[in-house]
Amino acid sequence: MGELLAALGVKFQQQGDVLDIDATHISHSKAPYELVSQLRASFFVIGPLLARLGVARVPLPGGCSIGARPVDLHVRGLQAMGANVQIEHGVVHAYVTGASKRLTGAKIYLDYPSVGATETLMMAATLAEGETTIENAAQEPEVADLANFCRAMGAKIRGAGTNTIVISGVPHLHTTDYSIIPDRIEAGTFLMAGAITRSEITLSPIIPDHLTAVLAKMQEIGIRTVMESHNRMRLLPQQRYRSTDIETLPYPGFPTDVQAPFMSLLTLAEGDSVISETVFENRLGHVPELNRMGADIRVKGNHAIIRGVPMLSGAPVVGTDLRASAALVVAALAAEGKTTIQGLQHLDRGYEHLELKLQKLGAKLQRVQEDTTTEPTAEPVDAPPIGSST
């Protein structure tokens, strides 16, 4: 993302966990294909570019192959705000005519509460002339956080975090310093890692309200959590877990991004669990890989039926997408023997130094350079129940 912003003329620097972004002189309106094709979030630049320059040329996005994620909601919303949009040769070309080259406020109804479309249109509307209303907007915490960030720069936004967001356009935004919210999906992944290894761990900082659906399902299967402070949680796992049924939904429902790691945990729960994936139609790619590790999972349409097994075994597996890779890491921590996981390019898009954080918790895992001359093998090793992963 930093490389993409730099390609547009933004001065971008990272020092530790601080990003310094100077967007004073945006000099290019075309985003490079080789960068957008790697990260779906790259497409989000279309809204700010259109609002700032009156023109944007952004290739159709790449990212994880977890199902159809069309940009038609983005396009229809921008068109409602007065943009001309054409899609040719895989590139979305949007521009605003007229002397001011400014978008105009509009009433927009989203057919689906898409996070990406909500954020794109909200950003575009911050500099539009007049008032924009987004109905059936996504309510995810990240949408509210983005709105707070824009407000800190002078935007006029109300209703973010509800299904109706109203944006009153302003002539320009100004500089600000801002701290983003903790990553609820990373927190959920660590909760799964602690639970599956029966490990008492503490997570901080977290916002428990962002994890309500996940914590409810954890409690249902027999996992307790205790808040040690307003943003510090302690996981109190049990030796035996019950089965449960989960249906992924837009926020505040159960998050699709925690579905895969939670499935890893349910492979060791007693009884039969059912996970219904309703957000993306191709987000069960981790099932065959978990079965390679000894899980008993059957897929019927968008439903996965998980029959709990006594243990998982290490095996060579491949992460097919970001959260599938995280699920395999979670499973590998509890599997007996060695697990080798390929596909870390997916994992690295959503987790920073995951292996180092897990190592600090006592996990035995390391990142190694892949040897392309030999096939990965699942050699048994003398080790405690915590496995190892590549």
pLDDT tens-digit profile of 347-387?
988 899 999 999 999 999 999 887 655 444 444 333 334 44
Domain boundary among 168, 196, 222: 168
Last residue of a domain, one of 168, 196, 215: 168
pLDDT digit string, tens, across residues 175-205? 999 999 999 999 999 999 999 999 999 999 9
Structural contact between residues 188 and 198, judged by C-beta atoms closer than 8 angstroms:
no
Q: Is residue 157 part of a domain?
A: yes
Note whether 16 and 134 are same-domain residues: yes
Residues 204 and 251 occupy one common structural domain? yes
Q: Whole-angstrom Cα distance, residue 125 to residue 318?
A: 41
| Same domain for 311 and 197 | yes
In a domain, 68, yes or no: yes
- Please indicate, yes or no, whether residues 198 and 151 belong to a single structural domain of this protein: no
Report pLDDT for 99.
84
Q: CA–CA separation, 69 vs 175, rounded Å?
A: 33
- Please say which residue of 168, 199, 228 terminates a domain: 168
Residue 27 lies in a domain: yes
282 Cβ contact list (under 8 Å, min separation 6) = 65, 66, 67
CB atoms within 10 A of CB 208: 17
Q: What does the pLDDT read at residue 283?
A: 86
Domain shared by 92 and 120, yes or no: yes
Query: Which residue reads 């945006």 in tokens?
Result: 26
If one counts the domains in the chain, the total is: 2
pLDDT lower than 50: segments of the chain: 66-68, 374-390
* Domain coverage including residue 261: 184-360
189 and 325 share a domain? yes
- Note whether residue 380 is domain-resident: no
- 118/196 same-domain check: no
Element (H, E) at 227: strand 224-229
In a domain, 323, yes or no: yes
- Domain assignment present for 365: no
3-state SS, one letter per residue, for 169-185: CCCCCCCCCCCCCCCHH
**Same-domain check for residues 162 and 189:** no
CATH number at residue 231: 3.65.10.10
Amino acid at 388: S
The yes-or-no answer on residue 150 being catalytic is: no
Q: Are residues 275 and 202 in the same domain?
A: yes
Q: How do 164-168 and 156-158 pair as beta strands?
A: antiparallel
Same-domain check for residues 26 and 120: yes
Structure tokens at 188: 């959920």
Catalytic residue, chosen from 64, 78, 108, 187, is: 64
pLDDT at 64: 59
Residues 200 and 163 in one domain: no
Check whether residue 236 and residue 350 sit in a common domain.
Answer: yes
Predicted pLDDT of residue 382: 38
Distance CA 134, CA 260 (A): 31
- pLDDT, residue 332, reads 98
